Amino acid sequence: MASPSTPAVEPRVAIVTVSFGSSDVLSGFLASVAQSSTSMPAVVVADNKPEGDDIVAGLAADHGVTYLPLGANLGYGGAVNAAVETLPDSVDWVLVSNPDVSLGAGALDALVATGDSDPGIGSVGPAVLTAEGDVYPSARSVPSLRTGVGHALFVNLWSANPWTRSYRNDTETPVEQRDAGWLSGSCVLVRRTAFTELDGFDTGFFMYFEDVDLGYRLGKLGYRNVYDPSARVVHTGAHSTTSDSARMIAAHHTSARRFLNKKYAAWYLWPIRVSLTIGLRVRSALVRRSLDR
C-alpha cells in the first residue's frame, strides 16, 4: 500500500475535501485515505477560511497533501470547483468528501471500479454510516414539487410519511447497488469529464442542495448516479454547522427553494413557485421558533 507521502506522479484519482475550521477532524480523514486505496491519490484540502488556517495547513503538510487557501469563503461547491481546477489532467475521477468522514478499507478502489464499469456512470456514492453504525439515506430521488414539499412539511411531524419515503428511497434495500437521482455530497466520486462538462457545482448554492443539483444535472446529461454500498465510509456529522442551527435551517430552506424554482422555471409555473416560497419560509420560521424555546 502506498504511503500518503508518496503520491503517484500521474494520479488517475484525486480527493478533494473542504475545510472551514476543520482541524479537529481533518487528520482522521487524511489518515483514512491510505486504507481506502492500493495507490495513493492526489489529495487537495481547500480552505474556505478567509484568513487561512495554519493548523490545517500543517496537517496537510504532515500528510503530504496539497493545501489550497482560497482567501474567501466560496461555499462548499465553490471551494470544490476551485480545487478541481488545480488537479492534473491525468485525473479521471474525483472523490469529493467532507473532512469529518473516515474512508473505509478499499472504499475508494471499490467506487472507482464501479465507475469504470460503465462510461455512462457520472458519479458513484458509498454507503454512508453514522458514528453509531446506522446507514444514512445518502442515495435519494431528485425532489419533485410533490415529494420535496411533502418531505419538508411533514418529516418532523410524521417521519414515515410517503413523501419522505419516496424522497429517501426508503423502500429500497440499502445493501444493493442501484441507480439514484442524486448522491450525498458528503462523500461522492465524480467522473472528471462529466463534472467539467457541467462546469462543476452550481455556486449559486452556497450551502446545501449543491449535491442534489449536481445529480439532477448529471441525469439530464444522460449520466447515471450509482449507489455502491460495497464501499463504506463513516460520517461523524456536520461539525462546522452545528453551532448555529437556526441559520443552517434557513440556509437549507433557501437552497431547497432555489433548486425547485430552478427545476420548475417555466413561466406558467409561477403560481407554484410562489406557493412553494411562502410554504418554505413559513416552515423555516416555525422551526427556528421551536429552537428558540
In this structure, what are the phi and psi dihedrals at residue 155, rounded to the nearest 5 degrees? -60, -35
Looking at the fold, whether 228 and 287 belong to one and the same domain comes out as no
Q: Where are the alpha helices (DSSP H) in 70-209?
A: 75-85, 107-116, 145-154, 162-168, 192-197
User: In this structure, is residue 80 part of a structural domain?
Assistant: yes
Looking at the fold, whether 233 and 251 belong to one and the same domain comes out as no
Residues whose CB is less than 8 angstroms from the CB of residue 115 and which lie 6 or more positions away in sequence, other chains included: 93, 121, 123, 124, 189, 191, 226
CATH code: domain of residue 201: 3.90.550.60
User: In this structure, is residue 3 part of a structural domain?
Assistant: no
Looking at the fold, whether 31 and 155 belong to one and the same domain comes out as yes
Confirm if 280 and 251 have CB atoms less than 8 A apart.
no
Looking at the fold, whether 214 and 136 belong to one and the same domain comes out as yes
Domain count, the chain: 2
Task: List the helix and strand counts (H, then E) for the chain.
Answer: 10, 12
User: In this structure, is residue 4 part of a structural domain?
Assistant: no
Looking at the fold, whether 110 and 248 belong to one and the same domain comes out as no
User: In this structure, is residue 171 part of a structural domain?
Assistant: yes
Task: Give, for all 293 residues of the chain, the pLDDT tens digit.
Answer: 444 444 446 899 999 999 999 999 999 999 999 999 999 999 999 999 999 999 999 999 999 999 999 999 999 999 999 999 999 999 999 999 999 999 999 999 999 999 999 999 999 999 999 988 888 888 988 766 555 555 455 444 445 545 445 545 544 445 689 999 999 999 999 999 999 999 999 988 777 779 998 999 999 999 999 999 999 999 987 444 444 555 566 666 666 667 676 766 666 666 766 766 666 666 666 555 655 55
Q: Which residue has the cell 450509482?
A: 226
Looking at the fold, whether 109 and 80 belong to one and the same domain comes out as yes
**Can you give the residue range of the structural domain that contains 85?**
13-237
The last residue of a domain, from among 210, 237, 264? 237
User: In this structure, is residue 6 part of a structural domain?
Assistant: no
Looking only at the bridges linking them, the beta strands covering 182-183 and 139-140 are: antiparallel
User: In this structure, is residue 2 part of a structural domain?
Assistant: no
DSSP 244: G
